[in-house]
Homo-oligomer: A and B are copies of this chain.
């Protein structure tokens, strides 16, 4: 199940990457610098777009690290362009896609896992995933989406959700 959760994070990051592409198309049509989005905020005391994307990536990677028990690479926060953000997502996806179900098999729901960004602190594995990482991850991906939506980019919820396997009953 933990591998399944990580695969879903990867799926959502791929959707976010496509949403960044729509921001680029919008900026081209309107003839403005797409990198202006990097400092966009919904409120002046809120983290800007560039950090929403970075943090979404890091929450996915932190979940993968804590639930697999493997040390995963740290990615520097140095993106200055939208193109760099594509790169940040690609680096994160390379890490997530490099893990298999076997990497998570030893972690039981009641195990206490180490919180990657809280030295000396831990949580029950299931609580860590459900109470902390899933809500945090979607919080930042949705806020990144909302910033682009507020900025006029032509995106809808289907861009956020991605394609679904729906069948006739």
Binding site for B on A (CB under 8 A): 1, 4-5, 8, 11-12, 42-43, 46, 112, 114-115, 118, 120-124, 126-127, 130-132, 134-136, 138-139, 142-143, 145-146, 149-150, 152, 157, 160-162, 164-169
In the complex, the answer to whether B43 meets A149 with C-beta atoms within 8 Å is yes
Within the assembled complex, what's the spacing in Å between the Cα atoms of A143 and B145?
9
Cα-based distance from A123 to B150 in the complex (angstroms): 32
Which residues of B are found within 8 Å of A139, using beta-carbon distances? 138, 142, 145, 157, 160-161
Task: Judge whether A136 and B157 touch: CB under 8 Å.
Answer: yes
CB distance from A169 to the nearest CB of B (A): 5
Cβ-defined contact, A162 with B123, below 8 A: no
